[in-house]
Chain A
Amino acid sequence: DIQMTQSPASLSASLGETVTIECRASEDIYSNLAWYQQKPGNSPQLLIYDANSLADGVPSRFSGSGSGTQYSLKINSLQSEDVASYFCQQYNNYRTFGGGTKLELK
């Protein structure tokens, strides 16, 4: 099974700041990686797919990058509505999620 290691587990940042969340796969996943945002009490919502493609309706301050085993999600100019948990997920060899990152405002 492919393991997904996400870091950090929690993050505190200020409004307007740039935030980066990392995800490392235990083997090459060939950019078959998605990112989700989950606000408290809500279901996850797709942000990024294929490592760097923005899902419909997602603000352009969100971006994804990476290849091989290393991937990242960047949020530019953090907004209050971005307070949420974020999860990566690989779909190269079935489906595995990262452990999640809880993003809070400083």
Chain B
Amino acid sequence: EVQLVESGGGLVQPGRSLKLSCAASGFTYSNYVMAWVRQAPTKGLEWVASISTGGGNTYYRDSVKGRFTISRDNAKNTLYLQIDSLRSEDTATYYCAKDIGYYSAWGQGVMVTVSS
């Protein structure tokens, strides 16, 4: 059974940093593109970033370029999202997802709240 388990969220002050993790199991993690998708409270879904199988290629939505860094450790079957210079508009539930064009599996999500 495919499992994606996010961790690392919390309440953070504006301008600070946070690193999210996503532990994957139940599939050959290193064979799949992985992504982070977020959802602000009561809002829709928004793709944030993706990373190629080997980690050499990364992609970001414009609003997070230069502040977010997606990475992966294929030996640990873990996906990461480093979030720097947090803004109030980054407040959301962050999901990691298995990306095969569409998102065939999602984690349960981790909440990030940016507030002073």
Contact = CB atoms under 8 A, between A and B. Distances in A.
Interface of B: 35, 44-47, 50, 59, 95, 99, 101-109
A95 interface: yes
A66 interface: no
Q: On chain A, which size bracket covers the interface?
A: 10 to 19
B44 A97 contact: yes
B44 A100 contact: yes
10 closest A-B pairs by beta carbon, nearest first, are A34-B102, A91-B101, A95-B47, A43-B106, A97-B45, A100-B44, A49-B102, A99-B44, A43-B109, A87-B45
A89 interface: yes
A98 B44 contact: yes
Contacts of B35: 95
Q: Which label, helix, strand, loop or mixed, suits the secondary structure of the B interface?
A: strand
A73 B45 CA distance: 18
Interface of A: 32, 34, 36, 43-46, 49, 55, 87, 89, 91, 94-100
A20 B99 CA distance: 26
A43 B44 contact: no
B60 to A, nearest CB: 11
Contacts of B105: 46
Name the residue in B44, B47, B59, B107 with the highest tally of chain A Cβ atoms < 10 Å from its Cβ: B44
B44 A46 contact: no
A32 B101 contact: yes
A34 B103 contact: yes
